[in-house]
Amino acid sequence: MMDATLSRRTEMRPRWSWVVAAIAVALAAVIVVVALTQARDPYPLQDGGGSLVTGPALIGQPTRTVVVFMQPRAGDRIELLGAEQIGFPPDTKPTLYLSRAIPQADGSWLTGEALEPLAGAVIETPAGASPLPQYGVGIVAEMTPTTASIYELTGVRLRFRINGGVEQVREGTSVIWTVCAGDPAPASCETPPDEGY
C-alpha cells in the first residue's frame, strides 16, 4: 500500500502555472543581463570624459570642432538616427554633423573637414577589417554665439541602430568643448570674464 502511494506521488507533474512562472523569471534574468551589458558598453561612443578643447569666438560668427570620434567595429553597419548636444544653454542649439575621414597627402586621415547631415547617415565597416583610420568618423558641433558668454558642451546624446537592430541611445563625448565669446573675440579663454566677456 505504501509503495503504491509513493509511486503515485512520483508521477505527479508540476502545475503549468509553476512552469510559466519559471520561464518568466528566466526571461527577466536574461533581460537584466543584456541591459547591464549594454549599460557598461559605450559603443559606438568612447568611454571616458573626453579631453578639453577651448577657443575664443566672435559674437555672430560660427565656430566648430570635432566633439566625438567613433571607430566602428569590423562588419558593423551603424545607422545614425539623430543627436542632441548636452551642456549648452537651451537657447543655444549647435548643429551636429557627421564627418568622415578624408585622406591626406602624407598618408594620414583627417576628420572634421568634410561635413554631412548626421540624421540618416550610415557608417559601414567591411567584415574582417581591423580598426583602420579610414573607417573612423567624427561628430562635429557648430555653433554661433549670440552674446558675450562662456559656452560649454559636455556631451552628445546619440540615437542609432546597429546592424538593423532596435533603436539605442548613448551619451558621451571625446571632447569637452568650451567657447568663450565676445566682441571683439577674447585673446584666449584664460581671460577673466569681467575683462573679456
Percent of the chain with pLDDT over 90: 60
> Based on the structure, what is the number of domains in the chain?
2
* Closest residue by Cα to residue 150 from 121, 192, 110: 192
Tens digits of per-residue pLDDT, 113-129? 999 999 999 999 998 86
Domain with 116, as residue range(s), is: 51-196
Burial 175-193 (b: 16+ CB within 10 A, else e): bbbbbbbbeebbeebeeee
Q: Whole-model pTM?
A: 0.75
Same domain flag for 34 and 59: no
Residues 10 and 83 in one domain: no
Does 76 reside within a domain? yes
Q: Does 64 reside within a domain?
A: yes
**Are both 17 and 106 inside the same structural domain?**
no
Question: Would 110 be classed as within a structural domain?
Answer: yes
CATH, residue 184 = 2.60.40
% pLDDT > 70, the chain: 75
Regarding whether 191 and 102 lie in a shared domain, the answer is yes
Q: Is the peptide bond before 184 cis (omega within 30 degrees of 0)?
A: yes
